[in-house]
Structure 1
Amino acid sequence: MAFADCARMDPPPDVKVLCDPRPPERRPPSQEYIWAKDAPLVLLPGITFSKENDDLAARFAMLAITAQPLDYAASVLEELGRSFRWDRPIYPDAEIYGYYQFPVTEPGPPGRYPAQVGAEYAKLYEQGAIGTEIVEPFAGWLRAYQSMVRLPGPVLLAILLVPPVAAIARRRKGRRLAAGPAWLVPWSVAVVLLITPAAAAEFDYRYVLPAVPLACLAAAQSIRPELLRQSGGDSRAKEFGDDIPPNVRL
């Protein structure tokens, strides 16, 4: 919905009910199309998250992507770029942003209609009221922490660049590990965790968080051979014999 143009997509009648006549720059964040009360998908008969509605929305999405691939790619890059901003603006809206802040007062019930339905089912599951309790002084400690500590986006980008840059530098010096690089798995997972929300939904701060420790792990693993060499790893290897292959000494 961030870029879908039904005039270019020419959807069939049953899919056309999801079209928004407003130009993309005047539309709300994409998530509103499954949460807002007046969203075309929410207005369809029955509950919002049914198989029929899911299939309909999937057809709409695939038609938009195949009809406007460049617009889709631009949308993905724009959403991905939000992960690497220096500041931390409110996005996608104040309500969602507020969910990720440790509050001073207990938060109220969910405001979005489908979430309200889910809250009713949660009450049945809990066999009573549901809610969030704020316990001091621990909550105050967390509020103080969140007001001072954060990881700026450019720093995360720099951490992600460490492994490939270290690999290129090592290759230029003619040093190659016999086995595959240990950093490749956590680094790939971190990249996928960042790209997938931008490609399938939209940017959200909660999607960035799980990528951070994996990116840090990959960065540490990519520079570990150099650290071992500087700390005397080669000299210790010589104590066990000069016939040890260089890659084992690493």
Structure 2
Amino acid sequence: MSAHRALVIAMLPAIGLRVLAVLGFPPALLFYGDSFAFMREELAPGTTRPSGYSLLLALLRPAHSLTLVTVLQHLLVLGLAVAVYALLRRRGLPGWGSALLVTPLLYDEFMLLLEHMIMADAIFIVLVTAAVVLVVWRVTPTTAAVGGLLLGLAGITRTVGLPLLILVAAYLLIRRYGWRPLVALLVAGAIPLGAYATWTKVEKGKFGLTEADGNFLWSRTMSFADCDVIKPPERLAVLCPNMPVEQRPYPPHWLWEDFSPLLKVPGTANRNQLAGEFGRMAILAQPGDYLAAVATDLTELLRWERTDVDEKTPYKLPTSERPINESVRDVAESYEAGPAATRVVEPVAGWLRAYQRFGYAPFPLLVLALGGALVAALVRRRWDALLPGVAALALIASPPFLAAYDIRYVIPAIPLVCLAVGLTLGARSPSRPEPATAEPEPAGRAGA
């Protein structure tokens, strides 16, 4: 225990913060309306998001306890911090250094928020980071298969996880770990993805994970699209924005609000297809404007504070109970088997709200740490540090290209950045790939 005293010291207050969340905001924080879509009793492939998290909630439904869901999410993230710590110790970092590097994972207020929210993000973070930890720990067909399975499950939890399976496969290929781990990774990853896509085919007649990738890309282009430049064909012209650029709201609003021309297109699959075509045409016709819109979103990463004091955002801990809308109350109360609205229990809730104002890793420091880790990994030839580093970069950068920036989309990169920094600083790193199987060396040749 003395060897891990620093981790114990770091874990105890982190556990205390999670106890405050459970006591201060029972039974859970609800994100309007995504949380209610996940909790529906009738399981079906999601239209705008995959339903992997819904499947987890369905497994836990017999307990009729949202508190059970949030406690499980809190415990999984705590366990993930221990796993990252263990890998960093394995790579030669001292106990205090390893414990220090997992503190953002343990103490970031947004991590606490997502763990206590009925949303897919905390589970996604655990799946992705656990997969990377397994593969970096030691590459064998078994660890690669488990890592692939976790990444496949991450892909049906949030589609942004899909490229990470290819990224890990490229890592195994470039590092020459052999064909067996590579095949194990891809086959295991394809199992949940293929099963889910087949379910979608049976239910909706289309092989895929969602029916909204085109919608999101189209909404991204609403930041700049000019139909006088794009010159879309008549069948796509209905999707042209109907207000000047300077008056247009942020891209996600174009998906749901009454003013959106997207709602004029009948049929979910048809809408998604046409929106995707329009989005690609807009990007090809206005590549400079597209990159400028992405760059503008990415400048949010330079913002030191997460939110201003008076800023309205769903990511602030509530000060009072918010009644659940009648349209979704039955969904929540059926899952909870009773009242499900988030209660605010003072003074505990107030303590956690006060912590939220300062308990976070500023994004500029996170970006600086990631950039430094990537450069140092190349200079020091710590190739194992590049995998979590590039994965973190992909998670941070891809949403502004495909949809829009959101604080929530940056948080999954935090444990990967911590891991990349630690692996770069580690005292030792595998100089070559470890063999998948090791045969004992004959005694007579030992030390030869």
TM above 0.5, yes or no, is: yes
Once residues 153 and 186 of structure 1 are traced to their aligned partners in structure 2, the CA distance between those partners, rounded to angstroms, is 17
Letter in 1 for 2:331: A
| Match of residue 11 from structure 1 | 232
Identical amino acids, percent of aligned pairs: 37
Once residues 72 and 121 of structure 1 are traced to their aligned partners in structure 2, the CA distance between those partners, rounded to angstroms, is 42
Question: Residue 3 of structure 1 aligns to a residue in which SS?
Answer: coil
Contact 1:37 1:43 in 2 (8 A): no
Change (3 A) 1:226 1:121: same
Change (3 A) 1:201 1:132: same
Once residues 164 and 140 of structure 1 are traced to their aligned partners in structure 2, the CA distance between those partners, rounded to angstroms, is 39
Change (3 A) 1:128 1:57: farther
Q: Per-residue deviation at 1:23?
A: 2.7
Question: Residue 22 of structure 1 aligns to a residue in which SS?
Answer: coil
Change (3 A) 1:123 1:14: farther
Once residues 330 and 228 of structure 2 are traced to their aligned partners in structure 1, the CA distance between those partners, rounded to angstroms, is 40
> Does 1:74 find its partner at 2:284?
no
| Match of residue 217 from structure 1 | 419
> Does 1:85 find its partner at 2:303?
yes
Contact 1:33 1:39 in 2 (8 A): yes
Higher helix share: 2
Residue ranges of structure 1 left out of the alignment (5+ in a row):
111-115, 171-175, 228-243, 245-250
Q: Per-residue deviation at 1:65?
A: 1.0
Once residues 290 and 421 of structure 2 are traced to their aligned partners in structure 1, the CA distance between those partners, rounded to angstroms, is 31
> Does 1:103 find its partner at 2:103?
no
Q: Deviations over 1:195-216 (max 9, x none)?
A: 1111111111101111111111
| Match of residue 364 from structure 2 | 154
> Does 1:206 find its partner at 2:408?
yes
Once residues 151 and 89 of structure 1 are traced to their aligned partners in structure 2, the CA distance between those partners, rounded to angstroms, is 13
Contact 2:377 2:386 in 1 (8 A): no
Select the residue among 182, 187, 190 that pairs with 2:389: 187
Residue ranges of structure 2 left out of the alignment (5+ in a row):
1-221, 430-446
Contact 1:122 1:130 in 2 (8 A): no
Q: Per-residue deviation at 1:222?
A: 0.6
| Match of residue 24 from structure 1 | 245
Q: Deviations over 1:203-245 (max 9, x none)?
A: 1110111111111110111111289xxxxxxxxxxxxxxxx9x
Q: Per-residue deviation at 1:185?
A: 1.2
Q: Deviations over 1:39-62 (max 9, x none)?
A: 11134456xxx2121112111111
Contact 2:377 2:385 in 1 (8 A): no
TM-score by length of 1: 0.72
Question: Residue 183 of structure 1 aligns to a residue in which SS?
Answer: helix
Contact 2:374 2:386 in 1 (8 A): no
Once residues 133 and 45 of structure 1 are traced to their aligned partners in structure 2, the CA distance between those partners, rounded to angstroms, is 40
Question: Residue 100 of structure 1 aligns to a residue in which SS?
Answer: coil
Select the residue among 30, 54, 58 that pairs with 2:272: 54
Contact 1:3 1:72 in 2 (8 A): yes
Change (3 A) 1:190 1:121: farther
Once residues 357 and 280 of structure 2 are traced to their aligned partners in structure 1, the CA distance between those partners, rounded to angstroms, is 41
Structure of greater Rg? 1
Q: Per-residue deviation at 1:134?
A: 2.7
> Does 1:122 find its partner at 2:331?
yes
Q: Per-residue deviation at 1:141?
A: 3.0
Question: Residue 86 of structure 1 aligns to a residue in which SS?
Answer: coil
Letter in 2 for 1:122: V
Change (3 A) 1:212 1:123: closer
Question: Residue 38 of structure 1 aligns to a residue in which SS?
Answer: coil
> Does 1:141 find its partner at 2:351?
yes
Change (3 A) 1:184 1:167: closer
